Amino acid sequence: MASNHTPGKNIEIKARISGFDRIRVFLSEHNADFKGTDHQIDTYFKVPHGRLKIREGTIESCLVFYNRDNRPGPKRCDYIIEQFKQGDAMPGRIRAVLESSLGILTIVDKKREIFFIDNVKFHLDTVKNLGTFFEIEAIDTGAIDEEHLHRQCEEYLEKLGITEKQLVGVSYSDMLLDGS
C-alpha cells in the first residue's frame, strides 16, 4: 500500500453534458495525456461531516476523505487520500471494515476516461443511473496558488464552451440519494 497522508486540495467543477466527442477532440488537440478508461465503484460511507469513500477501480483505487461546498462552478476541495496499487486487495478489506462499522450511504458505479494536461485532470464520466458528465480538477502540486487553480478551471470551461446551466454543484452520491 502506497501512502500519501498529506492533506491536498484542488479546485474542481462538474458539468452534465450530452456527449464527449467535442471534449475528446479538444483534449487531443491540446496533447492531453490519456491515462485510460477506468471502471470505478465508489462506496460512500455514513460519516458525521464531509464525505468518506473507497474507490475500487481498474486504474485508480483509493480511500479518500474530502470536504467540498455543494455549489455549481469551480470550488475548493480539501482531501486526505490513501492510494492503493493496482491489484491490491486492501481496498476490499477496508471497504468491509468501514461497511461494518459505519454503514454504506450509497454506491456510485461509473466508467471514467482520465486525461491530464499538466496539473489539470479531466474526467469523462458515464455514471450508472445518472448519465454523462465532465469534470475538471486543477490540482495543487504544492507550488500553485488557489487563485491560479480557479483561473485554470475557468479558462477550460470557457475554451470548452461549458455553460453555467450545465454546471452541477453536488457529488454523484448526492445525486443518487436525491434521485436527480
Would residue 63 count as lying in a domain? yes
Instruction: Encode 37-81 in three state secondary structure.
Output: EEEEEEEEECCCCCEEEEEEECCCEEEEEEEECCCCCCEEEEEEE
Would residue 56 count as lying in a domain? yes
pTM confidence score:
0.92
3 — phi, psi (to 5°)?
Answer: -110, 135
- End-to-end alpha carbon distance in the chain: 36
Q: What is the pLDDT along the chain (180 residues), one digit of tens a residue?
A: 344 456 789 999 999 999 999 999 999 999 999 999 999 999 999 999 999 999 999 899 999 999 999 999 899 999 999 999 888 888 889 999 999 999 999 999 999 999 999 999 999 999 999 999 999 999 998 878 899 999 999 999 999 999 999 999 999 999 999 987
| Nearest of 126, 116, 108, 123 to residue 176 by alpha carbon | 108
Domain ranges, residue 47: 8-178
| Nearest of 51, 57, 105, 58 to residue 79 by alpha carbon | 51
Find the CATH number of the domain harbouring 25.
Answer: 2.40.320.10
C-alpha cell at 35: 491515462
